[in-house]
Structure formats: structure tokens, C-alpha cells
Structure 1
Amino acid sequence: MYIKEICLEGFKSYATRTVVQGFDPFFNAITGLNGSGKSNILDSICFVLGITNLQQVRAANLQELVYKQGQAGITKATVSIVFDNSDRSRSPLGYEDHSEITVTRQIVVGGRNKYLINGKLAQPSQVQNLFHSVQLNVNNPHFLIMQGRITKVLNMKPPEILSMLEEAAGTRMYETKKDAALKTLEKKQSKVDEINKLLDQEILPALEKLRKERMQYMQWANGNAELDRLKRFCIAYEYVQAEKIRDFAVGEVEQIKAKIFEIDDDKERTQVEIKEMETKISQLTADKEASMGGEVKALSEKVHALSQDLVREVSVLNNREDTLRSENENAEKIVCSIEDLKQSVKERATAVRKSEEGAADLKKRVEELSKSLEGHEKDYQGVLAGKSSGNEEKCLEDQLAEAKVAVGNTETELKQLKTKISHCEKELKEKRHQLMSKREEEVAAENELNARKKDVENVKLALESLPYIEGEMEVLQKDRASEIDLVQKLKDKIRDLLAQLSNVQFTYCDPVKNFNRSKVKGVVAKLIKVKDSSTMTALEVTAGGKLFNVVVDTENTGKQLLQNGDLRRRVTIIPLNKIQSHTVPQRVQQAAVRLVGKGNAEVALSLVGYDEDLRNAMEYVFGSTFVCKTTDAAKEIAFNREICTPSVTLEGDIFQPSGLLTGGSRKGGGNLLRQLHELAEAESNLLLHQRKLSEIETKITDLLPVHKKFVDLKKQLELKQYDLSLFQGRAEQNEHHKALCYISSFAAFKLGELVKKIEQELTEANSTVKEKQVLYNECVSMVLMLEKSIKEHDNNREGRLKDLEKKIKALKSEVQLASKDLKVVFDIEGLPDITQCLDSKLLQLLYF
């Protein structure tokens, strides 16, 4: 797949559509004069391939890629590249059937950035995958080898070369996608874990709880239903039983009545019998008192036996109480003994803790004595072996030989470093001289360039100092055009509405010279303002033809209009000073509120807004009728004797107190008032937009001089910048300047780097010489010290051995004493535990 054709339109310096053809499949080069746009061809290719580092295409943002950043009337940049896809083996995935692939990228100033593949919209990721599949990754740091980067590529290390090869082969793309996919999987897995945790910890327990509550509710509902059924059954049973009792009671009432008669008959006979029975009772009482003697004796014996049993049980109770009292006393004594034992346990624990602390100190002392003993024994063995101390691995003679070798090596290194320092100083002097000469040559070339840059900066400062924001005039002109369109649309709308409302247009000529037109108020329909749009139909029906009446101040004004006003149609005139209105009395309004409720019926006059000086005319038109929300309310208002007032529903149905009903189809009802409302809104909007238009035109007039000066300065800036680019191009064509630039940019850079490197090496060599000198002095002093130590060691060997033997014996005795003390401490810890006593006392207490 290779490039066959490039089409540029509005991209950088290509304002018009430009097609670049004739690309070779293997090698291509772009040649041309300076400023002809060679680099822009490469920038356009990178732009379509989806470059993200805009510095490589010499832009700070995408808007700068548009021709003159959209200030010349061109607000978008489009680049299309046609790729030859005839080789199917190297075709992108999914495009094997296309012989050509056209990729288009378009940016719009202040708009969106879009891609097209073969004329169809595509996502940026889809385009990126297309190029990645054929190893075209423009964001690869090694995709473009710019000027000055060849040396860097040649000096790459093996890992960097491997990375470059992976990116060129296209495998890095899959590594990147793999990393992105792994990160996405981790995020999704964490989300899944969180959801599972939420399910396990919150949702499932809540569901289980809801299931249990649902079962409990079902059981409760079933129980309630069963309870209601049983209650109904019981009520029915009680009702049936009550009916049976009632029927049975009716028969019994008859029987009781018959018995009452019988009882009345038997009453006298019963009284006689009562007297006879009283006589018998008195005789029986006397006989009973005679026979009571034997029964009293039996009862007295029984009482005696019971008193003996009571004495016996009381004595048993007293014995039990004495036993309980003694047991309680024993329990209190055991509790006191337990408290004493606990106190002794605490004291014992304190003693054990102190003994443990003493044992730790003794252990530490034993360890210290053991270490000291080992050190002295090591020193003793070292002195026997001919060493100065026991920590040394070699004897003094070996150490002296090594020290002498170190002195020789250090002295050799010092000589080498001093030779290197002298060579570096000489080379540094020569390179500095060369660097100074190259910099002097560079200054002459930069002075003229700086002067031209300074001119450009001065023009930029003058441009920035102007109190003008770039594009402000264009915005104002755009706003003016939009306001002009709105004003024209509103005028057209008002014209259409006026054509539809020709009936409410009242035109007249002045009937007399110097006629005061304020005396003519206008048509009623244009003098009111409906408060609630839902009542427009009802108000239009209420007013009827009165909506087209003309309101004037006096009857004289109306007479003049009729006689000399040159009226084009017949009109009805309402003079404010003579008109008689019939309004609904306050008493009737209150009665209507009581009858149908507040808000269901209102006087039509209260539903319109008007000026206070027009009250008489408005009361004449709207003051004698109620507007009701419902048909029932309208009927109540019209036919109630206390109110008896005409009423109109919101749909336009009229109810007259005389019984006359008017209504039915009301298609377009309320259109007149709606059109008047739209006309008023359109006129207010027209005034508002006309005011805005005048303000915008004022701003444009005030801003015009500043804008003109801004345009002039901008032209100067473009000329200065073009002059600067021409100078830079001429300097690049000049062979001397090329050599100078090469020397200043490459050789001077290399010389500077070399001078820094030599200075660094010289600094490091000087510091190394100081370190080696110090090391040489230390080695010499070490040789002298070792020679002295050998002499002293031969003289003091016997004395040191005796001293070390004495110290070793003393330390061994101290170690033995400390070990004995430590053993005593551990014996104290082996004493029997008192908790066994506590356990036995507690068992006794629990038993009792």
C-alpha cells in the first residue's frame, strides 16, 4: 500500500484545492523553492496519519493548520490521501477488496475534527487501527527521522534499536493494546468483585430478609382472611341463634302470661302454706339444737390434733433457719480467706517479676563478660602468633610488605595522573580558543536576524496594545445580520397578523384641525390583556360584537368621528362619560362563591387587564357575566334565584337566566384574542430587537477606526514576518551561511561539548590526584608505623602475654559468680503456685 495522490484544501499555505499526483511506489522526494510549501506536504501526510505531537508539524493547536487560522474566510482544512491497495498481501485488515483506499481528515475552526474512509465517517480509533495494521504509526518516535537525529539513531544502544525494530515491525502496537486490555480487565474485575461483594453483603441478605417478611406477611394475611371468615361465620351463627331465641321467647311470653294468672290464683293458697311451714321450721330447729352436742366434741378433738402438728413443723423450721445462719457465716469466712489469698498471689507475682528483671540483668552481664573474655583470649592468641592484636588476620611482617607494595602503586598512579592533567590543560586551551573564534563568527549572522525579529516584535506589541479583540468586528457584523433577519421576520409576522385582524383596525381622519388623537382610545379588543389564556374563548363569547366597539372619551368626540372622521366601515362608539354599565353586585358575587366554591365562577371583568380610565367601558362589556369552569357551575349561577346572572363556560357555552342555552361547536374559538396576544408579543419583541440592532450599529461605528488600524498593523506584521522568512531562506541558500550555520550549530556544539568534557576530566583528575596524594601519605605513615610496631612488639611481647593471662583469669571468676546468681533466680521461679489453694476454697464456697 503506497500513496498515489494527495488533495489539500485550506491546509496551511494551500488555500484553494491542490492535488499532488505522480507518487512513486518506492522512493519520493519533494523539491522546490523556499516558501513554496514543501514541508506542508509532509505535514499534511502526518496530519492524515493522526499525529498527536503537533510540534512536529510546526503548530500549537489544530486551528493553526487552517489557512491563516480561518481569518481569510476559509474556516476549514481538508486533506485526502489516496492509497494504492492493489497488493492484497499487504492490504489492511478488512480492506482486501478495495483497490484504492481514500482517507480524509477535516478540521473546522471552532468545530469538530472528523475522519472519512472511502467517503464514510469513521472513528479515530478505526483509522488508527487501519494504519497500524500496515506498520504506519506516525506517533512512533522513530517514524520521522528529522534533521539532526541521524547521529542519535546511529549511536543507539541495543535495547533502543530493538525497541525501534519492534515499532517498525508493528508488534509494539499489540503490546500497547495488550497493556490497555489488561488494565481494562483489571478495572472490570475490580468492578465485578465490588458487585459480587455488594450482592453477598447487602442485596442477597436484604432479599432473604424480604422473602422472610413476605412469608410472614402471607401468613398474616391468610390468618386475617381466616379470622374474618370465622368472624362472619360466628356472627351468622349468633344471628340464627338470636332468631331462634326470639321465636322461642315469643312462645314463652305467652306461657308466662298464663302462668302469671295461675300464680295470682295460687297466691292466697301459698300464703297459707307459708304459715304452716314456719310452724314446722320452729319445731325442726328445736330438734337440731338437741342433737348438736356429739358433733362439737368431734370437732374439738380434730382441732387439738392439728395444733400438735403445727408445733412440730415450727420446731423443724427453726432448726433449718439455725443451720442456714451458720452456713452463711462459714461462707463469709471463706470469702475473707479468698481475698487474703488473692493479695498474697499479687505479692508473689510482684516478687517473681522482680526476680525476672534481675535475671535479665544477670544474663546481660554474663553475656558481656563472655564477650570480653573471648576478646582477651583472641588477643592472647594473636600475640602468641606474632600479631599486634587478635582481630588482625595477618602478622605484622606481612602487613608491612603489603603496605610497601601499596606505596609503590600509589606513587605510579600519581605520576600518570599528573601527566594526564598536563595533557588535558594543553588541549583545553586549544579548544577554548577555537570555540571563541566560532562564536564570534556566529554573532555577526545573528545580529541582522535579531534586528528583523525585533521589528516583528514591535509590530506585535503595537497590535496587542490596541483595545481591540481579534474577530470582534466579525462577531458584531454577524450579530447585526442575525438581528436584521429577526427584525424582518417579526415585521413579516406583524404584517400577517394585521392582515388577519383587519376587523380590529380602526382608521380615521382628523375630524377637525389640530384634533387630539389621545381622545380616541381604540378598539376594545386591543385595549384589554387576558390574564389567563384558558379563558380566551369564554371572554370572546362574553363580549361578542362589543370587542369591535371603539372607545372615546366623550360623546362629542364620537359625534365628530361619525360626521367628519371619514370612517371606512360602520362602527359602534362607546363614550366613557355617557356609557351605563350593569355590573354584578358584590352580594351576588358572594352568593356565587358560596354556591359553587371559590375559583369556579368569576366575573369576566376580573379576568382581563386594562387601564383604570377605561373602567366604565370594560364594565359595560365584561361586567355583567360570570365565567365558570364547569357546565354544572354555569347552570347553578344562571338558574339560581338568588344569583340569576348570565354565565359562560370555558368552552363558550352560554346559560341565560331566562332558560336560553347557546353552545355547541366552537372551532377556532378565542382565536381573535390569541392573535391579538401574539401581535402584542411580536410588537414588543420587534421593539426589543430594534433596540439591540441600534446598539450593535453604534458599537460597530465606534469600533470602525480601531478595526481599521488593527487591520493595517496586521498587514504590517504579515509583511515583516514574510520579510523575516525570506531572510532566513536567503541565509539558508548562502553557502557561506550554510557553512557558518553548520559550524555554529554542529561544530560549535561539538566543541562546547568537548570543552565541557575536558573540563570535567580535568576536575576529576585533580580531585583524584588529591585523593591519591592523601592515600600515598597514609601508606607511607602506615609503613613507618608498622616498622615501629614490629620493634615494640619484639620488646614487649612477654609483658603483654602476662597481662592478658591475668585479665582472662579475673574474667572467668566473674563469669562463674554471675552464673551462680542466675541459677538462684531461676530456682525462685520454681516455687509452688498458690492458685491451687484458691481453687479449693472456691470449691468449698460453691458446695455450701
Structure 2
Amino acid sequence: MHIKEVTLEGFKSYAGRTVVPGFDPLFNAITGLNGSGKSNILDSICFVLGITDLRQVRAASLQELVYKQGQAGVTKATVSIVFDNSDRSRSPLGYEDSPEITVTRQIVVGGRNKYLINGHLAQPSRVQTLFHSVQLNVNNPHFLIMQGRITKVLNMKPPEILSMLEEAAGTRMYEMKKESALKTLEKKQNKVDEINKLLDVEILPALEKLRKERCQYMKWANGNAELDRLKRFCIAYDFVQAERVRDGALNDVKQIKTKIVELDETTENIKAAIQEMDNNISTLAAEKEAKVGGEMKVLSDKVDKLSHVLIKETSVMNNQEETLKSEEKGAEKILTNIEDIKRSILERDAAVKNVENEASDMKRRAEDLTKELDEKEKEYQGVLAGKSSANEKKCLEDQLRDAKAAVGDAESGLKQLATKIKHSEKELKEKKTLLVSKRDEAIAAENELKTRTKDLEGIKASMGSINYDEGQMEALQKDRSAELEIIQKLKDRVRNLSGELANVHFSYRDPERNFDRSKVKGVVARLIRIKDSSTATALEVAAGGRLFNVVVDTEETGKQLLKNGDLRSRVTIIPLNKIQTYMIPDRVQQTARRLVKLSSLYTFVILVDVAFWLLLT
């Protein structure tokens, strides 16, 4: 294996891509002026071979190998060497089939260092193994003689000479691998010891503790399972007891209904008897009317009224008593009104008499004033004639003035009396009219009182003729109260059972407009019918919570319900198009019979009828 071509790009003084082709398999020489980059080509070969001592390539760090250390816009250095691998006897291990081997090394300023073999990324250790297998260890070379190398070889000690010989013979690589393997083995052994210590100190005790906790958990889980099973049996027992109580309650309800029917029949018989009595009364009334005529017709009408009142009083006795009390209060009120009217009449009579007396007094006073006026006129005439009155000492002028004043006073008093007389006469007419109306009201009130008194006496007589047993009525009310109490208890029991079976009712909102509700078949518990009620408890225990699963036609309907159905609780949905039949093998059934020691062992399907008519609608 020898070099055929070297390609440099961004390495030291080679800023651009530079290809050095045409290497001879035996002898090559690089010539040129000073500073033309002859040594840089050898440095690039050492760079690709993986040299670790950068002083051999005249650099302090890998970044110095980049053209102008990345300051001229070139930020990476790449060197590729193409090796001729036509001689398979001297080919590296694993590359015998490759006629050429291209090894590339690239460094980036501030970045990473990477190798490529035939265009594929490779680890540095893999590249070193490749070169070591063909005795090309650049860090301890026997194939590379640099300046001062001869003097160094002459001054070598025996171990160094032995190392160089091993390198030339190709065994150095295996020694290095052996040393690396021993170091790795030592590290692994330390790690194994540390792991064993960790196992003994922490993991094994923790594992033992977890085993104990697992045993305790298994016991707890088994106990919970047994407790759950016993709870189911208890629930089944309570359900059976509740069914018995329900059956007993239904029997009691039937008996109560029978009693109610009997009471209804008794009531109908009583009504029929009353109706028969009414018919008899009507017949007798018709006969009497035919004999007596109009008077009997009036009496028969009254009898009809009384019979209606009698029927009404028998049906609503309490209301009649209240009506009776209200009638008595009304009668008392009417009597009070009559007394008030009588007092008012007496007061009005007294007022009328007072007005009449005042009118007579006014008439007398008017007559006196008239007489006095006549006398004054006579005196006035006498004065005019030159005569003197009884008072002769006065002069005629004074007497004339006094006479005129007396005449004026008499005229004004006469006018006032006339006005008062008119007012009194008007008030007298009003009082007389009011007195007449009050007398009419008093007469009407007395007539109404007499009528109400007669009706009251008739009602009392009718009530006395009714065959009413208060003790029997109280007994019937007690029976009715007891029956209502039993019915209320049954309603409470039905309400409690409905609450326990609330999961049987599945409610949802239509997930879309015009949704076909026939796609949702309902809860499994509503879609099966038990053939024999004695197996109900066993079926309930065996089915468990699956009785409350919801059956739909397809899984799409189920998805719509879960997404937009506004479900109130979590439910399990069973699509019919995904159901697969499964028959229990005979071997399993025989094993179950042998375990429970029963000859009669049935599967769930045998004991129920599925409501296919519900599933197919």
C-alpha cells in the first residue's frame, strides 16, 4: 500500500484546493524554492496519519494548521490521501476488497476534528488501527526519518530499540491493544466490584424488602378480592330480601286495593239506596201532586229541595256544619241589623216630630209677626193721620222712624221664617221617604229571618233523620290512614330501589342534528330477560359491572356519544359490529362442575333471553 495522491485545502500555506498527484511506488522527491511549501506536504501526510506531537509539524495547536489561523476567511483545513491498495497481501484488515483507500482528516476553527474513510465518518481509533495494521504508526515511526532522527536512534536505549523493532515487525499494535485491554479489564473489574458491593449493600436488601412487600400486597389483594366477592354476595342477599319485602308489600297492596274496592262497593250501595229513596220520594210527590194539585206541587218542590240538601249534607257533613254556623251568624247579624233599623226608625220619628214642632212654632211666630205687622201698619196709618199712640211724649217723627224700623225687622224676620219653613218642609219630605225605605228594609229583613229560621229548622230535622254512625266513620278514617301509610312506605321503597338501579337509565344528548336514536340500543341490563328468577342473583354476581355497559350499532356511534353526547358519567360502550362470539369449551364447564360439586351448571347465555328485537330496531 503506497500513496497515489494528496489533496490539500486550507492547510497551512495552501489556501485553495491543491492536488499533488503522480506519486511513485518506490521513490519520490519534492523540490522547490525556499518557502514554497515543500515541508507542508510532509506535514499534511503526518497530519492524516494521526500525529499527536504537533511540534513535529511545527505547530502548537490544531488551529495553527488552518490557513492564517482562520483570519483570511478560511475556517477549516482538509487533507485527503489516496492509497493504492492493489496488493491484497499487504492490505489493512477489512479492506482487502478495496482497490483504493481514501483517508481524509478535517479540522474546523473552534470546531471539532473528524476523520473519513472512503467518504464515511470514522473514529480516530479506527483510523489508528488501520495504519497500525500496515506498520504506519506515525507516533513511533520506523518509516520516517526526520531531522535529528539518526542521532536519536543511535542514542536509543534497549527498550526503545525493542519498541522500534516491534513496530517494524507489526507486533507493537497488538501489545498496545493488550495493554489497553488490560487497563480496560482492570477498570471493568473495579466497576464489577463496585456493582457487587452495591448489590450486597443496597439492592439485595431492598429486593428482599420488596419481596416481603409483594407478599403482603398479594395477601391484601386476595383479601380485597375476597371482600369484594363477599360484598357481592351480601348485596345479592339484600336484593333477595328486598324482593321478598317487595312481594309482601305487593300482597299488602293487593289486600288494600281489595278493601278499597269493597269500600267503593259499599259506597255505591249507599248511593244506590239514597237514589232509591229519592226515586220513592219523587214517586210519592208525583202521586200527592196528582191528588192535591198546586199546593202539593209546591210541597213536592220543597221536598225535592230538602232531598237535595239532604244528599249534599250526607256527602259533605263538615261543610254543612260550617254552613249552619255561618247561617246562625247571619241570623244574628240580621237581628242586629233589625235592631239598628228599629233604633234608626225611632230616631227618625223623633227627628220628624222635632221638625214638625219647629214648623208649628215657626207658623205661630209667623202669625204673631203678622199680627204685630198689622198693628204697626195701623199705628203708621194713625201717625199719618196725625194721631198719637200710647206713648204721647214722643214726637211724631220719632214714632214714624220707630215704626219704619219695626216694619223692616218684621219683614226680614218673616223672610227668614219663610226660608226656614221651606227648608224644614223639604227635610221633612226626605225624612219621610227615608223612613218608608227603612220600614221596607226592616220588613224584608224580618221576612228573610223567618225564612232562614224555617230552613234551619228543616235542615236540623233532616240531619236528625240521617242514619250517621260517628264511630264507623272514625274507624274508616283510621283504616284509610293506615293504608295510606303502607302505600307511602311502598313508594319510599320503590324510590330507594330506583336510586340503587340508577345506572340502568342511560341518558345522553343528541351528538348531531337529526340523530337517529335507534342506533343506541341501551344498557345491557335492559336488553336481557331472565328465564328463571331464581338465577338472577348468580347472573348479577357473574356479570358485575358489565350489566351497565351501553350497546350501540357501530363504533362510530360510540365515538359520537363520547365526544358530543354530554354523558354525565363514564360508561363502557359495546359496538355490535365488533362483537365476536365465544363458546365456553366443554372441558372448562366440566372442570367448573367438578369444582363447585354441582350437576346443574349453566352458562350466562342459556339463562337469559337477549332482546334481539331491541338490537335490530
Ranked by relative contact order (alpha carbons within 8 Å, sequence separation 6 or more), the top structure is 1
Is TM > 0.5 for Structure 1 vs Structure 2? no
TM-score interval for Structure 1 and Structure 2 normalised by the shorter chain: 0.3 to 0.5
Larger CA Rg, structure 1 vs 2:
2
What is the TM-score when the length of structure 2 is the normalising length?
0.36
